[in-house]
Amino acid sequence: MNIYLAAFLVGGAICVLGQLLIDLTPLTPAHVLTLLVVLGGITSALGWYEPLVEFAGAGATVPITSFGHSLVKGAIAEAESQGLIGALSGVFKLTSAGITSAIIFGFLVALVFKPKG
Amino acid sequence: MGKNNKVKKEYKKLSQQKSPKIPLARNVIVAFVVGGGICILGQLIGELYISLGFDPEKAGDPTVATLIFVASVLTGLGIYDKFAQFAGAGTAVPVTGFANSIVSSAMEFKSEGLVLGVGCKMFSLAGTVIVFGTVTAFFAGIIHALLG
Amino acid sequence: MGRYFNLAVPVAIINGATICGPVEGKGPLSNYFDTVIEDNSLGQASWEKAERQLMETVSKNVLEKSNVRPEAVDIFLAGDLLNQIITSTFTARTMQIPFLGLYGACSTFAEGLAVAALLLQNQDISLCLTATSSHNSTSERQYRYPTEYGVQLPPTAQFTVTGAGATLVTNKSSASQIYITAVTIGRIVDLGIKNPYEMGAAMAPAAKDTIKTHLEKDSGGLSSYDAIYTGDLGEVGKAIVIEMLQQEDINIEHIYDDCGTMIYDLDQQNVNSGGSGCACSALVTLGLILHQLRTKQARKVLVVSTGALLSPTSYQQKETIPGIAHAICIERKEGSE
């Protein structure tokens, strides 16, 4: 399948899962995003998320489930090479770019812009 | 107590009957199209970085950073929240929504100062995602190390 | 006893003053408000400072309109939605009038006038100033999310009105033709609504309880009223109140409306179920309803401000939302010109 089509379908489907959870359960958006991250982490640990990334590209790496996947992937890779301590040292190995850029851009934008209400 | 519960149950029925329903079909379609669209954008940006010479394995980092940058600026300009009211999970679930939650908190609480406002409150919404993601990853790492 | 008070000394509304935000300024009632602001931040460094400026403006304006100096006012009664009612206390600091702070969430407008009317039964005082305010952005950041956070609201959600209203009232009868003649103090009614996006449903039972009590005790009964207005139930709460009263054989539909559904164009403005906030009933009453009474389009009106007494802490701890409603009966006295 064309990678763009796969990205659209898989990414869209993960968003639909989020929408259904928000609209059909009493969960707040914060609960739903937390759930999706944990879900991404668990499927990653089971070895199911990586094939999804290979199939759908950004369709699997752009949704927040990918954040859970990257955290788990980092922890497991480090645990393989370093043993137990890897579960501590590996967690943020792969997500540094995402977290750091969100903090830096968040900080800079807060300096420059005022909320418009 | 029993009578009280019955009154509350009956009232819940009445209030639901008078409340307009969430337009579920519309919300799902919009979330699908917008969320899928943001992923296509991510794919395009990723391929662009690869064509610029990034290792395909490493192109994810600048791609995510670019999406976060765009979402941050749109939040700063007051556009992201308007679009999110339309798109729901379509803008909340992609990493751009994660950026929006951090940037909007940082901006909002600037009035309480750089340290107590921006610094302390920046993760007031996104913190839960990091906490539970980290806890999941920690236990996944431990289990993997023990079971090999 | 209690709850319904037929005032032995009718309390005259000397003047009201109003100010509203840009969204309300695009609504159908904007011509009735004294001032429409263009910028919801009013150029201030924080939303809280902006809201304070709204309340200070109306408090000063109503005194100016009435040629009354702050020193002449006996008691200033004010309340708002912010933690520790900071808008009101900072306004009171500016006004330097003896101050009693109120918290009744969005019921504060009627609560302030009801308390003032009861205080003014005492002839030792003669002049009370009441004020209330709300601001969309201060409410969003305190009760919900940062204002720039993207969240999709359900159709039952309401939009907090940006604005403020102040009222000058007296027990000197020559001051006006418009009087508060009776008040009903609300009881907390909580029928178990938990969702903060269902405030109309949370408050409607309290509104029904207060309206029913008031109409039963008022010797004129329902037929003596030209109009009944609730504060900010929105479309959902309005429909529930009509239904609940109908179940008790009280049919108010032909003279009833809700300020939250009147202040915006619900079809054109993106406000879901309608307006909410302390300023909602204040703006509609002091803008539209006083005008209708003065121009003899109405003679006797019941204003029932409704409040959802939740806090972010209480709903995060899964508590239900207590509702309250206070009623003030406002009448034009014929032949007192």
pLDDT < 50: residue spans in chain C: 1, 336-337
CB spacing of B87 vs C152 below 8 angstroms: yes
Give me the residues paired with residue C189 across strands: C323
Taking the Cβ of residue C41 and every Cβ of chain A, the question of whether any pair is shorter than 8 Å is answered with yes
Domain end call among C149, C170, C191: C170
Q: Smallest Cα–Cα separation from B132: which of A63, A38, A69, A99?
A: A38
Angle at which helices C199-217 and C234-246 cross, to 10°: 40
Chain B CB contacts of A81 below 8 Å: none
Q: Are C277 and C107 in contact (CB under 8 A)?
A: no
Whether pTM > 0.90 for this model: the answer is: yes
Which residues in chain C have their CB less than 8 angstroms from residue A26's CB? 194-195
CB C13, CB C176: distance < 8 Å:
yes
Q: Which H, E and C letters describe chain B, residue by residue?
A: CHHHHHHHHHHHHHHHHHCCCCCHHHHHHHHHHHHHHHHHHHHHHHHHHHHCCCCCCCCHHHHHHHHHHHHHHHHHCCCHHHHHHHHCHHHHCEHHHHHHHHHHHHHHHHHHCHHHHHHHHCCCCCHHHHHHHHHHHHHHHHHHHHHC
CB contact under 8 A, A29 and C137: no
Cβ partners under 8 Å of residue A35, min gap 6:
A21, A27
Same domain? For C128 and C227 the reply is no
**A32-42 confidence digits (pLDDT tens):** 999 999 999 99
Alpha helices in C46-181 (DSSP H): 47-65, 86-95, 108-119, 136-143
Q: What is the pLDDT of residues A59-97, one digit of tens each?
A: 999 999 999 999 999 999 999 999 999 999 999 999 999
Q: Is B88 on the interface with C (CB under 8 A)?
A: yes
Q: What is the mean predicted confidence (pLDDT) over A4-18?
A: 98
Nearest Cα of chain A lies from the Cα of B1 at a distance, in angstroms, of 25
Which of B11, B108, B111 faces C191 most closely, judged by CB atoms?
B11
- At residue A11, does pLDDT exceed 50? yes
Task: Verify whether the Cβ–Cβ distance B105 to C155 is below 8 Å.
Answer: no
B141 and A58 in contact by Cβ < 8 A? no
Chain C residue with CA closest to B88: the answer is C152
Residue C173 is predicted with a pLDDT of 80
Q: What is the dihedral of CA C190, C196, C201, C206, to 10 degrees?
A: 40
Best of C151, C198, C235, C266 to disrupt the B interface (most B CBs within 10 Å) is C151
Count up the domains in chain C and report the number.
2
Strands C323-332 and C178-184: antiparallel
- Whether residue C307 contacts residue C107, with contact meaning beta carbons closer than 8 Å, is answered with yes
Q: Which of C119, C137, C170 is the last residue before a domain boundary?
A: C170
**CB of C58 within 8 A of CB of C80?**
no
Kindly state whether residues C181 and C321 are assigned to the same domain: yes
Any A CB within 8 A of C159 CB: no
User: Is position C2 within any domain?
Assistant: no
Shared domain check, C211 and C280: yes
Q: How far is B82 from chain C (nearest CA, A)?
A: 7
Residues in C closer than 8 angstroms to B11, CB to CB, are 191-193, 205
Q: How far is A31 from chain C (nearest CA, A)?
A: 12
Rounded-to-integer distance, Cα B81 and Cα B102, Å: 13
Structure tokens at B118: 């921006």
Q: Is A116 on the interface with C (CB under 8 A)?
A: yes
H helix intervals, C98-198: 108-119, 136-143
Assess A48–B contact: CB distance below 8 Å, yes or no: no
Residue C199's nearest CA partner among B27, B15, A28 is B15
Distance CA B44, CA B63 (A): 9
Same domain for C196 and C137, yes or no, is no
- Shared-domain flag, residues C161 and C200: no
Per-residue pLDDT of chain B (148 residues; tens, 9 = 90+): 577 899 999 999 999 999 999 999 999 999 999 999 999 999 999 999 999 999 998 899 999 999 999 999 999 999 999 999 999 999 999 999 999 999 999 999 999 999 999 999 999 999 999 999 999 999 999 999 998 6
Mean pLDDT of A48-68: 97
Closest CB from A22, A26, A115 relative to C148: A115
Q: Where are the alpha helices (DSSP H) in chain C?
A: 22-25, 47-65, 86-95, 108-119, 136-143, 199-217, 234-246, 259-262, 278-283, 290-294, 312-316
Q: For residue A115, list chain C residues with Cβ-Cβ distance below 8 A.
A: 47, 137, 146-148
Nearest to A106 among B24, B72, B130 (CB): B72
Q: What integer pLDDT is reported at residue C334 of this predicted model?
A: 73
Whether A116 sits inside 8 A of C147 (CB atoms) is: yes
Q: What are the CA-CA distances from residue A54 to residues A29, B56, B57, C337 (Å)?
A: 28, 12, 11, 83
* Structural domain of C318: 177-332
Q: Cβ of A69 under 8 Å from any chain B Cβ?
A: no
Residue A112 neighbours by CB distance under 10 Å: 10
Please name every residue paired with C87 in a beta bridge, in sequence order, or none if there are none.
none
* Contacting subunits of B (3+ beta carbon pairs below 8 A): A, C
Sign of CA dihedral B81, C82, C16, C287: positive
Of C40, C151, C195, the CB nearest to A117: C40
Does residue B49 sit at the C interface (CB-CB below 8 Å)? Answer: no
Question: DSSP assignment, residue C219?
Answer: T
Helix residue ranges per DSSP H, chain A: 3-24, 29-45, 49-56, 58-61, 65-82, 86-89, 96-112
Angle, nearest 10°, between helix axes A3-24 and B24-51? Answer: 140
- Which residues of chain C neighbour A21 with C-beta distances below 8 Å? none
d(CA A73, CA A50): 9
Q: Same domain, yes or no, for C151 and C192?
A: no
- End position of a domain, from candidates C119, C135, C170: C170
**A42: chain B residues, CB-CB within 8 Å:** 136, 140
Cβ contact (<8 Å) for B94 and A72?
A: no
- Containing H/E element for C179? strand C178-184
Residues C79 and C48 in one domain: yes
Question: Are C40 and C137 in contact, with CB atoms under 8 Å apart?
Answer: yes
Rg over CA atoms, chain A: 16
Other chains touching A, judged by 3 or more CB pairs under 8 Å: B, C
Q: How far is B120 from chain A (nearest CA, A)?
A: 12
Contact between B93 and A15 using a beta-carbon 8 Å cutoff: yes
CATH assignment at residue C152: 3.40.47.40
Name the average pLDDT for chain A. 96
pLDDT (tens digit per residue) in C187-243: 999 999 999 999 999 999 999 999 999 999 999 999 999 999 999 999 999 999 999
Query: In chain B, what residues touch C270 (CB-CB under 8 Å)?
Result: 85
How many residues comprise chain C? Answer: 337
What letter does residue C252 receive in the DSSP assignment?
A: -
User: Between chains, do C191 and B88 touch, taking CB under 8 Å as contact?
Assistant: no
| C117 and C239 together in one domain | no
